Structure 1
Amino acid sequence: MRSNRLTPLLLAALLAAPAAAHAGDPATFVLEMQDGVLTPARIEIPAGTEVKIILRNTGTTPAEFESLRLRKEKVLAPGAESFVVIRKASPGEYPFYDEFHMDKGQGVIIARQD
């Protein structure tokens, strides 16, 4: 007769396994911010869907992702990583910038209708 109980070893292995991505997870993009240089400076996203943008400050000075049209703002210390979620943006262009480096830290998010 087989037991339906999980052995402690199997249970530990299941809990340690990384979570699998689900079909409903948002599309994810990465934006690197390095002392005013934004890479990429142009991000194309699908309109009308939830999108996650991972923000990485790889520079030696603070950075601030800001988009007035998207109503998003995030300050990052040097070496920090965070994210913003954009929920169902309408088709169009959404400028963003690094507020600590206004002279060169400019970019745009393009929401495209497929």
Structure 2
Amino acid sequence: MRKPLGLLLLSLLLAPEVWADTPEIPLVIKDHRFEPATVKVPANTKVMLVVENRDATPEEFESHDLHREKVIAGGKTAKIAVGPLKPGTYKFFGEFHEDTAQGAVVVE
């Protein structure tokens, strides 16, 4: 029992190291829209989407393509790890304002 627990604790301690050198891609939610609406990332690379919600209300970043969803409170910032990804276009949207909050990650 001790060995699995020790391995778990070690992996949790090292987890931040895995993402330490990960490129950060800034995204802003403003007026219930993503800015920029399209971000480009290199193929086969882990990236961290840094989503800043400048609206007073919460928004849910959601992407079926990326298999991610995260509620971001108004005035707060969240980090969303993605990748490595194959070339293609991965759509995302704001579930609370789906008519205006649309975007895509383009992997080249």
* Alignment root-mean-square deviation, CA: 1.1
Structure 2 unmatched runs, 5+: 1-19
Indicate the structure (1 or 2) with the bigger Cα radius of gyration.
1
For residue 60 of structure 1, what is the amino acid of its counterpart?
A
Of residues 81, 85, 88, the one that matches 1:89 is 85
Deviation at 1:54, TM superposition (A): 0.3
TM value normalised by structure 2: 0.79
Higher helix share goes to which structure? 2
**C-alpha deviations, 1:35-56, integer Å up to 9, x for none?**
4111000000001011011011
Of residues 20, 26, 33, the one that matches 2:22 is 26
Name the structure 2 match of 1:8: none
Runs of 4+ displaced beyond 3 Å:
none
Q: Secondary structure at the match of 2:75?
A: coil
TM value normalised by structure 1: 0.75
Within 5 Å, which residues of 2 pair with 1:46-57?
Answer: 46-57=42-53
Q: Give aligned pairs, total.
A: 89
Of residues 73, 84, 97, the one that matches 2:69 is 73
Q: Are 1:106 and 2:71 an aligned pair?
A: no
Structure 1 unmatched runs, 5+: 1-23
Deviation at 1:61, TM superposition (A): 1.1
For residue 82 of structure 2, what is the amino acid of its counterpart?
I
